[in-house]
Chains A and B, each alone.
Chain A
Amino acid sequence: MASVFFEHVRKDFGTATVVQDFDLQVADGELVVLVGGSGCGKSTILRMLAGLESVTSGTVRIGDREVTHLPPRERDVAMVFQDYALYPHLTARENISLGLRLRKVPKAEIDRRVRWAAEILELQPLLDRKPKQMSGGQRQRIAMGRAMVREPAVFLFDEPLSNLDAHLRGQMRHEIARMQRRVGTTALYVTHDQMEAMTLGDRLVVLDGGRIRQVGRPIDVYRAPANKFVAGFIGTPPMNFLDGRLEREQDGPVFVSDTLRIPLAAERRPELPAGSGEAVTLGVRPEDLALADALGPATIRGQLVLAEVLGATTHLHAEVGGRRLIAAVPSGPSPAPGGAVSLSLDPRRLHFFAADGSSLLLDSASP
């Protein structure tokens, strides 16, 4: 059990820089999720911590040990792989205990730990089976058991749920969270699924192109995204973006686009640029759009293209001035597709992004 430090870590593959100047501190016992699209470098960072990839420059520390150039076997980390990486010729019990047997841990201790992991993960009926006799979810639990019995300083999870079907993924998410909380080991978790990231992490690290775009608690990253990338990545359905300008008028700043004119409440936007005509992007989450009865100041009018009823919520896809917007509204009477629809925005829940993508809100963490 230890904290993890990445200091100015950089990784090059040939001429391509895959991870740039990565700094992160993970507290002891924390579960930090690295999330981003493919190629963002998240797996590479995890593997550098494990020692499975070399570090081009920078330092990696686990606790007070510097591990940057140590071989994997000396780092005291355990990893759960996307393809489970179970040894096909061994039973579940042998899979879990092999590492301990190799380290000459006394048999009594091995049995105790295996029993402990089996109890937490409900593995007892599986212990004498071979991997090919188990389902994906069961194999993943065995892989977790294997990581647990090592009692390592850090758990690493490399997209462990990507190979499972959607229903199982939900179940396993809870298993993993429950296990990590119970065992209390520091954990780094890599995923491209932002739902996993939101529900599992104590903190999120959003990555893009080898750079950190934002670090924070899930709710903070959701409420106050630091830039357009994070805003569009976190949240399902993704945030709607509208390009336009900020105009200063007598009553206060106004957002103007070809289809909209939204006056902004002054208390909310103290840091907006003083000038007029600044190009900005307006961001509004689908859940912050509501069906409006009439046209008002913060209302958008468009044509309904599609209504997806998901149950209690309905996603309305509307075409507004050539752009597609999605609104997540409670299910109920709504206009028919093809008809006109009015959506109102909550002016307190708007996001604004400058031309370089950075957020114009004061209370968000800088990228």
Chain B
Amino acid sequence: MRAEARSGLLLSSPYAAFLLLFALYPIGFSLVLVLLKWDLVTAPSFAGLDNVQHLVGDARFWQAIVNTLVFLAIHLPLQIIVALTLAWALDRPLLFRAFWRATFFLPVVISGAVVTILWSALYATDVGLINGLLARLDLGPVPWLTDPAIAMPAIAVMATWKNVGFYVIIYLAGLQNVPRSCHEAIELEGATAWQSFRHVTLPLLKPQTLLVVTLSTINGFQLFIEPYILTGGGPLRRTLSVVLYMYRNAFSYQKMGYAATLGLALALLIAVVLVVQRRVIGSAEEA
């Protein structure tokens, strides 16, 4: 065998071994696990489609899906509007531009656990910062995390705060690709600033918006640490996320087969949602 081929195999074999063990095997085994009932202590038993059946009728699972949709309904529009506004404000010569940019991006860099703990302090009903500020305005304390209707929206706002800086950078890059002469042309045609934004800037930002929506959606379906620390999935399971439920099934209830089923369902669900989103936003670009 040629020396180059030998070296190639040698250099890439650790990677290949890794892929086999930690990528290909788990993917394959996940499909197997769906058909098993296993608590990791005793031997696994074959369960056929029991897990899938249970999933379909599992009120907790469906509640988690609904919770995620509530999250997305608030998080996505908020994310787009805030990120776009801040990017638009930054897209011009400004003093301290680097400082503003760095400030907005700061929460992106901080660990999700820290952000969640920080917001647990902000949202705390009695000693939290937000209720403290509201008290100054003579407004009553709001049970941010203990009211079933408010808890998930509260998490959605927190997630926006954490991630918006990332999307500001994405939108900024997109804004800088809009040719200046297009703005000048439409200004000469009689457009107001808003019309110029709506007819020139916004359509040309479609790719960025699609990215924001896609990544934020994935993020929404992957919520774990936020409900885990803030609410434990309550109140009344209204902040239960699929991943949290999956974790509980594996770690606490020792139901590996069912947990894997949840994982597979989630993966499929994300894929479907992303395809639909791409269709909707992508086709609007063509129109």
Contact A89 to B187, CB < 8 A, known contacts A83-B179, A98-B199, A102-B199: no
A85 in contact with B199 (CB, 8 Å):
no
Interface: B77 (CB within 8 A): no
A85 in contact with B190 (CB, 8 Å):
no
Complex Cα distance, B191 from A87, in Å, reads 14
Interface: A355 (CB within 8 A): no
- Please give, as numbers and ranges, the residues of chain A lying within 8 Å of B203 by CB-CB distance: 87, 89
Q: Mark A131-168, 1 if CB is under 8 A from B, else 0.
A: 00000000000000010001000000000000000000
A85 in contact with B189 (CB, 8 Å):
no
Q: Mark B99-117, 1 if CB is under 8 A from A, else 0.
A: 0000000000000000000
Complex Cα distance, B231 from A193, in Å, reads 71
Which stretch, A73-81, A114-122, A238-246, A310-318, touches the partner chain B? Answer: A73-81
- Please give, as numbers and ranges, the residues of chain B lying within 8 Å of A182 by CB-CB distance: none
Complex Cα distance, B179 from A81, in Å, reads 12
Complex Cα distance, B192 from A163, in Å, reads 29
- Please give, as numbers and ranges, the residues of chain B lying within 8 Å of A103 by CB-CB distance: 189-190
Contact A81 to B185, CB < 8 A, known contacts A89-B203, A98-B199: yes
Complex Cα distance, B189 from A315, in Å, reads 47
Q: Mark A193-223, 1 if CB is under 8 A from B, else 0.
A: 0000000000000000000000000000000
Interface bracket on A: 20 to 34
B38-88 residues at the A interface, CB under 8 angstroms: none
A50 in contact with B188 (CB, 8 Å):
yes
B198-252 residues at the A interface, CB under 8 angstroms: 199-200, 203-204, 206
Nearest residue (CB) in A for B190 is A73
Interface: B195 (CB within 8 A): yes
Complex Cα distance, B181 from A84, in Å, reads 8
Q: Which residues of A come within 8 Å of B, CB atoms?
A: 50-52, 71-73, 75, 77-79, 81-89, 98-99, 102-103, 146, 150
Known: A73-B187, A85-B185. 12 other contacts (CB 8 A): A72-B184, A73-B188, A75-B188, A77-B188, A79-B184, A85-B184, A87-B186, A89-B203, A99-B186, A99-B190, A102-B189, A102-B190
8 A-B pairs within 8 Å (CB atoms) are namely A73-B189, A78-B188, A78-B189, A86-B182, A87-B185, A87-B200, A89-B285, A102-B186
